[in-house]
Chains A and B, each alone.
Chain A
Amino acid sequence: MKIAVCIKRVPDSETRVKIASDGKSLDEAGVKFILNPYDEFAVEEALRRKEQAGTGEVVVVALGPAAAQETIRTALAMGADRGVLLQVDRIPADGLEAAKALAAELKGGGYDLILFGPMVAELLDLPCVTTVAHLEIDGARGTAEREVEGGVEVVEFTLPAVLTTDKGLNEPRYPALKGIMAAKKKPLDTKPTRVGQGGLEILALMPPPERKDGKIVGEGAAAVPELVRLLREEAKVL
């Protein structure tokens, strides 16, 4: 079972967001970057599939700046076998450009599963199932459950396939000290990469509209009639 997982380096959600002086990007000074928590589910699922098959390889691939090597090391510390960094100065705003670069790297790699999105699936002409909440693989066939509005779809697909994992598919493992030490020696291939501009241009990065200061309506059940009045007459949502 050879599995590729595309991972992304993102600011920690606890981070304070400050807009850079160009008005278009994040001021990265003092920002802590982490492995995208969504991608942790994908890495975990890949590791479990390999463990279940008893053999195979989990390759993590990231498109990003040199600093994304650290993100790749996190996934290696969780247990992935090797990493590939498609190094660019800046991740393009147009996801299709990122997908094209990642698809070019993955093409012909002999992967049974690629944990990435529908764009890469279309580019590689592979079957694709998104937001997988439960997964079973049996030889060259897989069964996935995906949560859709109004129910759960049970979907069968053939391998090789592209899957996106739903948040909450599993409980991602924490890298153990042993894993962190081992990760330092695992292969990490850095490839300078060119990506197109794409058709998405950033005009501005802006703070969200200030929420009007809220008010404490009162204490306990006695405050409920006033709350309902405010929701009706002031907020006009009832």
Chain B
Amino acid sequence: MSGGVLAVLEQRDGALRKVSHEVVTGARRLGDALGGTVDALVLAAGAVGGGADQLGAFGADKVITLTHAAFARYAPEGYSRAIAVVFAASATGKDLAPRVAARLGVPLAQDVTDVGVESGAVTVVRPVYAGKALLKLKLAASPALVSLRPNVFTPVQRPKAGVAQSAAVDVPGGGGGGGGRVTVREIKAAPAGALDVAEAPIIVSGGRGLKEPANFKILEELAGAFGGAAAVGASRAVVDAGWRPHADQVGQTGKTVSPTLYIAVGISGAIQHLAGMRTSKVIVAINKDKDAPIFKVADYGIVGDLFDVVPKLTDEIRKLHG
């Protein structure tokens, strides 16, 4: 692996997760800049589907699958024992990458939005101070550990196929159990197809302007019109009121998101909300108050009553996807 880059991928129940293609894309960018190869590492219980066969096309020279019965789901203690070098992303990555960094005694730059190479050293850019500044860092160590913010690295296809390798591995401590100190007893799965706001490419977020919890139905309909690409988010005001689960909250004390399209509906745009979504590619605001601060960060705004505007928007989007 000299001069190479290792992309640590994520799968769930044998299907590759969307962030994995993003991680390969980010790793490829570094690999090209360093003039090195990109190996992609997947830990799984068996064969991996969900586009794993196309990883070569996204820039992986070699795809290595390490199999162990305990790897069906992410199991932190087993994983960090099996992995040597890492480029990770996401919620799993936020758990795994610091462990690997501590084990290897190397630095980690988390949640980065850009990667590059300067004078042979890996550099990254990371949003800080609630997105109000960007920190550029150099990783003066090898391996350099980096985790990429979801949705920032758009996967790019390349006309090249990679090589796939698979090997069963043995993990001291049993993989899933970590010597019995931490065990996953149960996984309460979200409804099939439900997207997590942290990773959805489109987010339709609602605030107090929705008036009551039942009205979120109109946002769910709008999200549905995008054909499985959109999740429904929420402001803290409505989460605190118990209208929506905390997992959906966007902002300083909620999730940090960077979707391609963020539609803020009946959200005033308080600084703590902006902290979680200002790095979205395109922001649309629908608010009846033309002076609402959300319009200051929105690329496109409609001033009006959301109960008129949203159903119309849902119709128009349905026509597009019709």
A37 to B251, CA, bound (A): 12
A155 to B182, CA, bound (A): 7
A34 to B155, CA, bound (A): 39
Residue B101 lies at the interface, judged by CB distance under 8 Å to chain A:
yes
A57 to B123, CA, bound (A): 42
Q: Size of chain B's interface in residues, with CB distance under 8 A?
A: 94
State whether A231 and B282 are in contact (beta carbons under 8 Å apart), knowing that A206-B134, A224-B313 are contacts in the complex: yes
B99 A118 Cβ-Cβ under 8 A = yes
- B residues within 8 A CB of A99? 98, 102
B320 A228 Cβ-Cβ under 8 A = yes
Q: Size of chain A's interface in residues, with CB distance under 8 A?
A: 76
A200 B182 Cβ-Cβ under 8 A = no
- A residues within 8 A CB of B12? 150
* Majority secondary structure of chain B interface residues (helix, strand, loop or mixed): mixed
Residue A221 lies at the interface, judged by CB distance under 8 Å to chain B:
yes
A131 B187 Cβ-Cβ under 8 A = no
State whether A130 and B95 are in contact (beta carbons under 8 Å apart), knowing that A168-B249, A211-B299 are contacts in the complex: yes
A143 to B186, CA, bound (A): 11
Residue B247 lies at the interface, judged by CB distance under 8 Å to chain A:
yes
- B residues within 8 A CB of A218? 302-303
State whether A154 and B302 are in contact (beta carbons under 8 Å apart), knowing that A119-B99, A167-B253, A205-B134 are contacts in the complex: no
B316 A228 Cβ-Cβ under 8 A = yes
B92 A148 Cβ-Cβ under 8 A = yes
Query: Which of A15, A150, A212, A235 has a CB less than 8 Å from the CB of B194?
Result: A150
- B residues within 8 A CB of A212? 299
Rounded to whole Å, the gap between the CB of A227 and the closest CB of chain B is: 6
Query: Which of A38, A207, A227, A228 has a CB less than 8 Å from the CB of B133?
Result: A207
List residues of A (150-189) whose CB comes within 8 Å of B's CBs: 150-158, 161, 166-168
A216 B303 Cβ-Cβ under 8 A = yes
Query: Which of A121, A157, A202, A224 has a CB less than 8 Å from the CB of B135?
Result: A202
B299 A13 Cβ-Cβ under 8 A = no
A17 B132 Cβ-Cβ under 8 A = yes
State whether A133 and B181 are in contact (beta carbons under 8 Å apart), knowing that A38-B253, A127-B77, A220-B305 are contacts in the complex: no
Q: Which residues of A line the B interface, CB within 8 A?
A: 11, 13-15, 17, 19, 26, 37-38, 93-96, 99, 117-123, 127-131, 133, 143, 147-158, 161, 166-168, 198-208, 211-212, 214-221, 223-225, 227-228, 230-232, 235, 237-238
Cβ contacts A to B, 18 pairs, < 8 Å: A95-B101, A96-B108, A118-B102, A121-B102, A127-B181, A149-B90, A151-B188, A153-B186, A155-B185, A200-B140, A204-B135, A214-B301, A225-B316, A231-B300, A235-B299, A235-B300, A237-B260, A237-B281
Ranked 6 nearest A-B pairs via Cβ: A199-B141, A199-B107, A127-B181, A122-B102, A220-B304, A168-B246
